[in-house]
Structure 1
Amino acid sequence: MAEPTGILLVDKPGGITSHDVVARARRALNTRKIGHAGTLDPMATGLLVLGIGAATRLLTFLVGLDKDYLATIRLGVTTDSDDADGQVTARAAVSEVAAVTRERIAGGMTGLTGRISQVPSRVSAIKVGGRRAYDLARAGVEVELKAREVVISSLVLQDVREGEGHLDLDVAVSCSSGTYVRALARDLGADLGVGGHLTALRRTRIGPFDVRDAAAVPPGAVPAVDALVDALAAAPLRSAAEVASAVMPALHVDAAQARDLRHGKRVAGLTIDGPRAAAIDPTGRLIGVVERRGPEIKSVMNMPEEQHP
């Protein structure tokens, strides 16, 4: 039986890790060769993109895609992880929270929109000296993470709800890869002088892929992790050619050009739009990803010839 190959979209339930989803996918599809194009925290839900079999080679071209999130930010309470999974480290006075108006919130969100410098959360997966920042934080090691430039294309306030000593803001975020929505919650709370953290997060889009098209646990299924195995086993895999053509221009080549590209040869007489393209053979299979080399093109990633369309 041929090894399954393709890209699988998954709507991750809350309360489990992205690694748990990968483990269930391995069980559902009976293969060990599965990777992902970016994780979600255990409390978060939403879209994960998994590469199955040879299609894991495509993941490197998917990890940098921009993303959409729906999030809830709680103002008035600070945690050591910038989200609800952490320990509360500070609470603002009720009078301070009451003084936070919609106008002030809008001003703070405007300051966090566009190209900004963001310091990642101390419990992020960034490596420091070969160790994950969250492992160092749990070990009590103080870590100073460097700021990085990210782009917040859109940060929209959808609702404000008053709680006991806090405000909950429902927001929609469109951002570049590498953005920490937890850090947005932290920084907005700090800017407003009351502190803040993230209480809910749902990823709804990665590049051209939407969570509405993802395999999901049926509503009310218990336990969700077991139901997830069934959902993943029944989910269709997207072909490497379909996915690659969705994130970069498609370049259709003839049989001779396909053979040369698969053998690592440079091919003349072809043009591509942009820095790279998905080379598709006459049968609809993905040959690989190609880039320009002077007047010629060359594969920078090849798929196995035995793949299925």
Structure 2
Amino acid sequence: MDNSGLVIVDKPGGWTSHDVVARTRRLAATRRVGHAGTLDPMATGVLVLGIGKATRLLGHLALTEKGYDATIRLGVSTNTDDAEGEVTATASAASVTEDALRAGVAALSGPIRQVPPQVSAIKVNGERAYKKARKGEEVELAARPVTVHDFTILDVRRDGDVIDVDASVACSSGTYIRALARDLGASLGCGGHLTALRRTRVGPYDLGLARTLDQLAEKLEVVPIGEAVAAAFPRRDVSADDARKVAHGGRLPAAGLGPGPVGVFAPDGSLLALVEEHGPLAKPLAVFIS
């Protein structure tokens, strides 16, 4: 029986994304498990795993919008832009007003250019930035375009020279919440870093669907691959003739379903492929016929 599909995990703090994959490989009794979009060890929340043929969906799912709940501490900077790093500077945030805070958040909303954290998995001349940083090398990372769809302040707590800001963020793939914390602190002249992060959503998959590793050990809940594609991408149902064409890697006429991946389904409702429309044609990204 093919158990290909997605497993939506509520990742615990202190675990790497690879730790979660390794545990799920044992639970699913297969090596063919991967994840869509890494979560730092400090972070908790939604980690989407693919089993079997669904591993081929992960690169496409990783590009979807994500949601987070975050706590930002203003008044303290670290070398990793989060609480796991070493403190590099302190400056009182006591004089930061609510208006200044809201203006700072507004300036980091919408389409922005963001410099990733020094300690990140981005490659610089073939080597991960965090490896260079750990060797004491200064890493020059270029700013990248990202989109912060929503950056909402939920609560503000003042304690002497520091301010803790609880916020929710919805953003495009590639956005670093640590970098938002750093840049908010920098814009307010007091520095800042991330002290807590919980991912609440990856595309259509949210915490309501997520299960802890203990729950998954009792019952491995797998979202079937066809259901997973229909939830995340536009759906296109095709005739038997077109289904045969797709099964052999052929192209279909475009159906005007948008620039991203489209799930193509056979007349019996089974998933055939992911395609992407380019001009007049829909070209296969991944074919799922056994």
Under a length normalisation based on structure 2, what TM-score does the superposition of the two structures give?
0.94
Q: 2:193 aligns with which of 186, 194, 197?
A: 197
Cα offset for 1:272? 4.4
Match of 1:271 in 2: 255
Cα offset for 1:158? 0.8
Question: Is the contact between residue 262 and residue 299 of structure 1 (CA under 8 Å) also seen in structure 2?
Answer: no
Cα distance in 1 for residues equivalent to 2:37 and 2:277 = 28
Q: How many residues are matched?
A: 289
- 1:260 paired with 2:245, answer yes
Stretch deviating more after TM superposition (256-265 or 21-30): 256-265
Question: Is the contact between residue 77 and residue 194 of structure 1 (CA under 8 Å) also seen in structure 2?
Answer: yes
Gaps of 5+ in 1: 217-227
Match of 2:28 in 1: 29
Cα offset for 1:249? 1.6
Cα offset for 1:248? 2.0
Match of 1:8 in 2: 7
- 1:234 paired with 2:219, answer yes
- 1:59 paired with 2:44, answer no
Cα offset for 1:238? 1.0
Question: Is the contact between residue 29 and residue 233 of structure 1 (CA under 8 Å) also seen in structure 2?
Answer: no
Q: How does 1:153-192 map to 2 (within 5 A)?
A: 153-192=149-188
Stretch deviating more after TM superposition (171-180 or 3-12): 3-12
The DSSP-based 3-state class of the residue aligned with 2:223 is: coil
> Residues 159 and 21 from structure 1, CA distance in 2 versus in 1: closer, same or farther, beyond 3 angstroms?
same
> Deviation per CA, 1:5-54, whole angstroms, max 9, x where unpaired?
10111110111111110011001111001111101000100101111101
Cα distance in 1 for residues equivalent to 2:193 and 2:124 = 23
Gaps of 5+ in 2: none
The DSSP-based 3-state class of the residue aligned with 2:274 is: strand
Q: 1:301 aligns with which of 282, 286, 289?
A: 286
> Residues 206 and 263 from structure 1, CA distance in 2 versus in 1: closer, same or farther, beyond 3 angstroms?
same
The DSSP-based 3-state class of the residue aligned with 1:186 is: helix
Cα distance in 1 for residues equivalent to 2:154 and 2:274 = 40
Percent of pairs identical after alignment?
52
Cα distance in 2 for residues equivalent to 1:199 and 1:242 = 36
The DSSP-based 3-state class of the residue aligned with 1:212 is: coil
Q: How does 1:72-83 map to 2 (within 5 A)?
A: 72-83=71-82
Cα distance in 1 for residues equivalent to 2:15 and 2:279 = 47
Cα distance in 2 for residues equivalent to 1:76 and 1:69 = 22
Q: How does 1:39-188 map to 2 (within 5 A)?
A: 39-92=38-91, 96-188=92-184
Cα distance in 1 for residues equivalent to 2:251 and 2:85 = 53
Name the aligned partner's letter for residue 304 of structure 1. Answer: I
Cα distance in 2 for residues equivalent to 1:145 and 1:214 = 34
Name the aligned partner's letter for residue 255 of structure 1. Answer: A
Under a length normalisation based on structure 1, what TM-score does the superposition of the two structures give?
0.89
Stretch deviating more after TM superposition (165-174 or 289-298): 289-298
Let me know the Cα RMSD of the aligned residues: 1.7
Stretch deviating more after TM superposition (42-51 or 2-11): 2-11
Cα offset for 1:91? 1.2
The DSSP-based 3-state class of the residue aligned with 2:56 is: helix
The DSSP-based 3-state class of the residue aligned with 1:69 is: strand
The DSSP-based 3-state class of the residue aligned with 1:98 is: coil
Question: Is the contact between residue 6 and residue 49 of structure 2 (CA under 8 Å) also seen in structure 1?
Answer: yes
